[in-house]
Amino acid sequence: MKHGVSGVADAGAFLARLTRLDPGAPVRLRPAGSRTALWARLPWDVLVTREVAGPGPGDVTVPAAELLAVLGRGGDELPGRRDADWRWPLPPTGGTVVETVAAAELARVAGAAAGTLREVTAGGLGGRAVGQRAVRDALLDHVALVVTPAGGAPVQVTQRLVQAVLRMGFLGSADVDGPETRVCVAGRWVGLSALYGVAWRQSVKELTVMPISTHPFG
């Protein structure tokens, strides 16, 4: 079977970022009209997706590193399927945009969190030593933005989503004033839709889902 991805540069950028964050990550390819949506889960419990050119192979999951290697050598074969490795639900389609925020503001928020992590790790908190992992988890759960749409409940955007769009390169170049990032809601999911991709996270605790041989979600 062929992978069917013609947007090699875009897919390669997504996969390269993903595998730096999680070398063993699976990537799910799903049809998106005449294009293909790449889906992955980051180590801090956020789903990320980017659409690329090409009809793709259908709805399949493969090792991200193996697909990146195929694209890097100009191959067209699909790596061995690992559909059972995908264990997470996807957000529903047809989300609603509730607000927009400048990419520069998101970059500033993410940079401030990184600076706090360095300071607390080096100097402790209130004179008491704190482990880097504990500080990192607390910062990721910190609500970076609160959006209150007209007539709706407040929507909380945590650092988990902000870090996802930044670390995956979805905001684009810091030197270019690109389009604003959209804050989206789809059911119980909150998303940040940026120039090159979207990050999603459920606003409630996810259920544990055991792997099975086919994709039951999305």
> Whole-model pTM?
0.85
Same domain, yes or no: 116 and 180: yes
Residue 140's pLDDT band (boundaries 50, 70, 90)?
A: confident
Distances (CA, A) of 103 to 109, 145, 162: 10, 13, 10
Query: Bridge-partner residues for 61, per DSSP?
Result: 28
Q: Which amino acid appears at position 54 of this protein?
A: G
Cα separation of 161 and 149, whole Å? 19
Same domain, yes or no: 138 and 197: yes
60-63 sheet: strands from edge to edge: 60-63, 26-32, 35-42, 46-53, 198-202, 189-193, 181-186, 96-101
Q: Among 86, 67, 73, 85, which residue's Cα sits nearest to residue 2? A: 67
Same domain, yes or no: 68 and 123: no
Residues 6+ apart with CB under 8 A from 146: 154, 155, 156, 157
Say whether pLDDT at 3 is over 80: yes
In this prediction, residue 133 carries a pLDDT of 61
Domain, as residue range, for 109: 96-202
Same domain, yes or no: 79 and 131: no
Say whether pLDDT at 82 is over 90: yes
Overall domain count for the chain: 2
Instruction: Decide: helix, strand or coil at residue 66.
Output: helix
In this prediction, residue 165 carries a pLDDT of 94
Round the CA-based radius of gyration of the chain to a whole number and report it. Answer: 18
Same domain, yes or no: 106 and 163: yes
Same domain, yes or no: 12 and 65: yes
The CATH number for 68's domain is 3.10.150.10
